[in-house]
């Protein structure tokens, strides 16, 4: 009776006892009309409260999870955040607009380019700067998509590590290093770039950089085939992730989930397609969504597969952008940068963009000075981590580790 107890992660109990069985594998003699679905809150067994984190390596940062456990079954998860709070919004309200960009880098430090472009677009909208050199727009897309691939490589590599696959983690970080080399060459930094400025870029594109970016794509595409053969198509990996952390489309929307977490539940929403910013409307690419090929729609496997497919789509965008920038490579990337940013008093702008972890929004309000009166950032990771209790109940502690990995959180983005 107990041989397949935890195989499907569905638990039941009998009215007059505390025996937990799996209905899918219960023999006929054990099943009758008195068997009801287990309600986590009402179960009368012993409970234990355990802290996971903030130093626990599987929490992907300084996140503390307060777990209520019945044995190894998770009954409740309460995330405790704030360990990485940097007071970004208040800092931004005390420095000039162009000096806020380095603070944006540190919101999601695994995708700094994507943070910078969102804030730059918000300020450009605030000061009604509507036209930028074509070279700037193409270059922004190129560095953002390179950063998206680098971010997803961290996500899928560490996710494989969470479920016990070590080699894919090393392969992912090997190829990420090549992207960081490119971004260091163009910006001078490997992680926090301060490269996308209001109205332009901080530096010109170095000679030979575009060709090296094309060579990287030629190298990288076959490497992703090898990665997928090793991990994505691995039978053990699929079995381990296919029925864990199921997030229904309705639940994803009600919690405000975005990015691969939302698309993993089958909802096709990507701001690069639905509300195109910069030059994204010029490129041909698809929006991958979860399909529940191997099990329930919205599992941790679906969220993983969305990120894998998004890497392929980013490569498609990069090839088009690298070809599209060629006619404009002699333009000045600093030509449209305003000498001084002083929006009209009372002016307000809100811009949202698609980062590797979902929708990042910036609200900027002006009082007429060169320092914003109010800056508000909308964090994708904050909404995504909020759903963890709903999708973890009834699972195992080991499943919770994979659920955290599938949400791909960055604590700098959550805490800001």
**2 part of a folded domain:** no
Q: What is the pTM of this model?
A: 0.87
Q: Where does a domain end: 63, 80, 97?
A: 80
159 and 35, same domain (yes or no): no
Query: Locate tokens 């070809």: which residue?
Result: 323
Q: Quote the number of domains for the chain.
A: 2
Triad 187, 339, 379: Cα angle to 5°: 55
Q: Are residues 74 and 106 in the same domain?
A: no
> Do residues 150 and 252 share a domain?
yes
Longest dimension (CA), the chain: 81
Judgement on whether residues 73 and 207 belong to the same structural domain of the protein: no
Residues 25 and 147 in one domain: no
Tokens 């992907």, residue located: 60
User: Residue 167 sits in a domain of what CATH number?
Assistant: 1.10.645.10
Domain that holds residue 330: 88-415
pLDDT tens for the chain, 416 residues: list them.
333 333 333 333 334 333 343 434 333 333 333 334 444 444 445 789 999 877 766 667 788 899 999 989 999 999 998 888 888 999 999 999 999 999 999 999 999 999 999 999 999 999 999 899 999 999 999 999 999 999 999 999 999 998 989 999 999 999 999 999 999 999 999 999 999 999 999 999 999 999 999 999 999 999 999 999 999 999 999 999 999 999 999 999 999 999 999 999 999 999 999 999 999 999 999 999 999 988 899 999 999 999 999 999 999 999 999 999 999 989 999 999 998 999 999 999 999 999 999 999 999 999 999 999 999 999 999 999 999 999 999 999 989 999 999 999 998 898 87
Pairing state between β 374-378 and 358-365: antiparallel
Q: What is the pLDDT of residues 190-213, one digit of tens each?
A: 999 999 999 999 999 999 999 999
In a domain, 357, yes or no: yes
Q: Which of 149, 265, 135 is nearest to 201 (CA)?
A: 135
CB 90 within 8 A of CB 75: no
Residues 49 and 152 in one domain: no
Q: Do 17 and 118 share a domain, yes or no?
A: no
Both 261 and 327 in one domain: the answer is yes
Residues 98, 76 within the same domain: no
165 & 271 share domain: yes
Last residue of a domain, one of 80, 103, 133: 80
DSSP for 56-67, please give it: -GGGSSS-EEEE
* Pairwise CA distance, residues 86 & 161, whole Å: 29
Chain centroid, CA 368 distance in Å: 35
Domain boundary among 80, 102, 120: 80
Q: Answer yes or no: do 100 and 73 share one domain.
A: no
What is d(CA 380, CA 410) in angstroms, rounded to the nearest whole number? 10
Residue 108 inside a domain? The answer is yes
- For residues 92 and 75, state if they share a domain: no
Task: Judge contact between 133 and 336, C-beta under 8 A.
Answer: yes
pLDDT tens by residue, 344-374: 999 999 999 999 999 999 999 999 999 999 9
């Amino acid at each position: 009776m107990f041989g397949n107890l935890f195989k499907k992660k569905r638990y039941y109990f009998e009215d007059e006892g505390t025996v937990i069985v799996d209905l899918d594998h219960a023999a006929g003699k054990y099943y009758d009309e008195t068997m009801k679905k287990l309600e986590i809150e009402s179960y009368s067994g012993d409970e234990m409260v355990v802290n996971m984190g903030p130093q626990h390596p599987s929490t992907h940062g300084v996140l503390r999870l307060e777990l209520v456990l019945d044995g190894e079954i998770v009954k409740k998860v309460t995330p405790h955040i704030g360990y990485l709070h940097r007071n970004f919004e208040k800092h931004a309200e005390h420095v000039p607009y162009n000096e806020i960009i380095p603070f944006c880098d540190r919101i999601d430090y695994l995708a700094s380019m994507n943070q910078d472009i969102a804030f730059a677009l918000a300020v450009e909208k605030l000061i009604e700067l509507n036209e930028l050199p074509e070279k700037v727009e193409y270059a922004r897309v190129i560095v953002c998509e390179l950063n998206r691939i680098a971010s997803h490589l961290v996500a899928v590599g560490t996710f494989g590590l969470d479920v016990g696959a070590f080699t894919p983690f090393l392969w992912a970080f090997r190829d990420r290093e090549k992207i960081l080399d490119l971004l260091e060459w163009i910006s001078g930094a490997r992680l926090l770039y301060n490269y996308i400025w209001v109205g332009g870029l901080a530096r010109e594109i170095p000679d030979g950089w575009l060709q090296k970016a094309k060579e990287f794509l030629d190298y990288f595409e076959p490497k992703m085939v090898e990665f997928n053969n090793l991990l994505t198509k691995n039978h053990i990996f699929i079995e381990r992730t296919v029925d864990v952390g199921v997030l229904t489309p309705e639940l994803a929307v009600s919690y405000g989930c975005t990015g691969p977490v939302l698309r993993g539940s089958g909802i096709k929403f990507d701001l690069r397609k639905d509300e195109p910013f910069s030059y994204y409307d010029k490129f041909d690419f698809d929006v991958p969504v979860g399909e529940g090929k191997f099990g329930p729609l919205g599992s941790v496997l679906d969220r993983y597969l969305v990120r894998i497919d998004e890497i392929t789509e980013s490569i498609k965008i990069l090839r088009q952008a690298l070809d599209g920038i060629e006619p404009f490579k002699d333009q000045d990337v600093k030509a449209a940068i305003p000498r001084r940013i002083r929006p009209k008093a009372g002016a307000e702008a809100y811009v949202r963009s698609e980062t590797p972890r979902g929708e990042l929004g910036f609200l900027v309000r002006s009082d007429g000075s060169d320092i914003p009166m109010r800056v508000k950032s909308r964090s994708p990771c904050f909404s995504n981590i909020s759903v963890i209790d709903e999708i973890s109940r009834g699972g195992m502690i080991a499943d919770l580790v994979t659920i955290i990995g599938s949400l791909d959180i960055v604590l700098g983005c959550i805490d800001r």
